[in-house]
Structure 1
Amino acid sequence: MMLQYWQKLSLRLDAMNLRERVLVFAAAALALIFVLNELMLDPLFVQQKRMAQQISQDQAKAAEMQREVQQKILANAQDPDKLNQKKLQEVREQIQALRTDLLGVQKNLVSPEMMPRLLEDLLRRNGRLKLVSLKTLPPQNLNAPEKKDAKDADTGAPKAQAAAAQSPGTKPEVEAGAIYRHGVEIVVQGKYQDMVDYLTALEGMKWELYWGRARLQVDEYPVVNLTLTVYTLSLDKAWLNL
């Protein structure tokens, strides 16, 4: 069948003149191009269009990410110490929290101004002990770094003396975030049991004290000398007034 079809088609083409043959071949070429376009080229064009759209979307995302990176770079360039400032703020908040806690604790602590008077009042109530001496100790900043050597300590001594020699109306400098320990050293003389009674009375006060050093010295039995150091805490650097 196919052979007969091609033979008939060949005879018909041979019977045509040159112009008719050109038109037939042109029509056949157009039909072939149409078939190729429908079956192969159009799907390729659709796929290329999808790829172009995907590339365009990816480029848009990349451009957006680049803008975000530039914004972050500009932000850091404008404030290079932002991280350090954040850490500093956290430390300040911690110090403030400690100071707030200390204010709550201070409600039960003896104030620096009251401490010498309380010690003397208890001594008078005891009535059997003799007051040998009562002196205040320089306030200590518990947050201050320790001095590295004796040279530093000697250098700081004149400064401490100058601070102590300030006029009564001069307000001492207050360091930010500082917590001060105020101490009193009292020396009393009497019998051992009277010393025990005095210490028991100190412990029984409604006000709280921090105990420091206690030293007993026997000069002539049964008379005993007791050197006692007690402390309180405060946010104020003011020296104790005796």
Structure 2
Amino acid sequence: MGILKTYHRKIDRLTLRERRFIALALCSVILALFALLFWNPLWAEYRRMNQENGQYEIQIETSQNSINALELRSKRDVNAPYKEKLKNLILEVQEQRDRINGITSALIQPERMNEVFEGLLMNSPLSFESIKNIPAEKIKINEQDQQALFKHGLKMQLQGRYMNALKYLQNIEAQNWQLYWDELEFATVEYPIGSLRLKVHTISTSNKVLGL
């Protein structure tokens, strides 16, 4: 208590200006002690927590990106490339079938060739000498040759007058089907009689031998 009274008497002797200076000095000391004991630790803790929160946010964002990538992968059809390839193959096969149908639809069917040629001959004065089928021959319409076509040929030899042979050929051409001419020859045997040799073929997807 004596010490406090001594300081109190000393303060009473000070001027007002000196008292204000001492008060400001004491406030500065108190503020410095507060900063040292309370504020600085709180600020350091705040910065540490803020850094940790930043790291957590980065980890959360990385995890969310991974989740989004996994969800996108799970929704993606892994068979999509194969389905697209299969679709293209189906379209290619259909295009080839359409092309084959376009080639063969207007042609005479192989199994009808003998019947038609002999039927036309029944109404002709030409005489029949021989008829022979040619074994079916495989042909290609492209390099892949995914669906085979077969060439069916027929050889005939007839005898008669030239004008009758010409009429017979015109009757063949007048039919509502088509065929391919490979050979056509008329040679005089003994005027006015000659020999007509012809070779024709048609195309189909069957390798069935012509019935003669």
Shared fold (TM-score greater than 0.5)? yes
Structure 2 counterpart of 1:177, from 147, 153, 167: 147
Structure 1 counterpart of 2:50, from 45, 49, 59: 45
User: What's the CA shift for 1:233?
Assistant: 2.6
Partner of 2:65: 61
SS in 1 for 2:123: helix
Counterpart code for 1:136: N
* Structure of larger gyration radius: 2
- Equivalent pairs counted in the alignment come to 190
User: What's the CA shift for 1:119?
Assistant: 0.6
Partner of 2:133: 136
User: What's the CA shift for 1:63?
Assistant: 5.9
Tell me, which stretches of 5 or more residues in structure 1 are unaligned? 1-5, 77-81, 147-175
Bigger RCO of structures 1 and 2 (CA < 8 A, at least 6 apart): 1
Distance, in Å, in 2 between the alignment partners of 1:33 and 1:9 is 28
Q: Residues 141 and 181 of structure 1 are in contact (CA less than 8 Å); yes or no, is this contact kept in structure 2?
A: yes
Q: Residues 211 and 231 of structure 1 are in contact (CA less than 8 Å); yes or no, is this contact kept in structure 2?
A: yes
Counterpart code for 1:58: T
Counterpart code for 1:114: R
SS in 2 for 1:123: helix
Distance, in Å, in 2 between the alignment partners of 1:231 and 1:58 is 73
Structure 1 counterpart of 2:115, from 107, 114, 117: 117
Counterpart code for 1:131: F
Counterpart code for 1:45: N
Distance, in Å, in 2 between the alignment partners of 1:118 and 1:201 is 11
User: What's the CA shift for 1:115?
Assistant: 0.8
Kindly provide the CA deviation profile for residues 194-215 of structure 1, in whole angstroms up to 9, marking residues without a partner as x.
2221111001113332333323
Alignment of 1:199 onto 2:169: yes
Distance, in Å, in 2 between the alignment partners of 1:100 and 1:135 is 31
Q: Which has the higher strand share?
A: 2
Deviates more, 1:105-114 or 1:192-201: 105-114
**RMSD between superposed Cα atoms in Å:** 4.6
Equivalent runs, 1:66-81 vs 2, <5 Å: none
Percent of aligned positions with the same letter in both sequences?
24
Partner of 2:5: none
Q: Residues 162 and 186 of structure 2 are in contact (CA less than 8 Å); yes or no, is this contact kept in structure 1?
A: no
Tell me, which stretches of 5 or more residues in structure 2 are unaligned? 1-16
SS in 2 for 1:236: coil
Distance, in Å, in 2 between the alignment partners of 1:70 and 1:240 is 58
Distance, in Å, in 1 between the alignment partners of 2:150 and 2:18 is 120
Alignment of 1:234 onto 2:204: yes
Distance, in Å, in 1 between the alignment partners of 2:113 and 2:129 is 17
User: What's the CA shift for 1:109?
Assistant: 3.7
TM-score where L is the length of structure 1: 0.56
Distance, in Å, in 2 between the alignment partners of 1:240 and 1:196 is 25
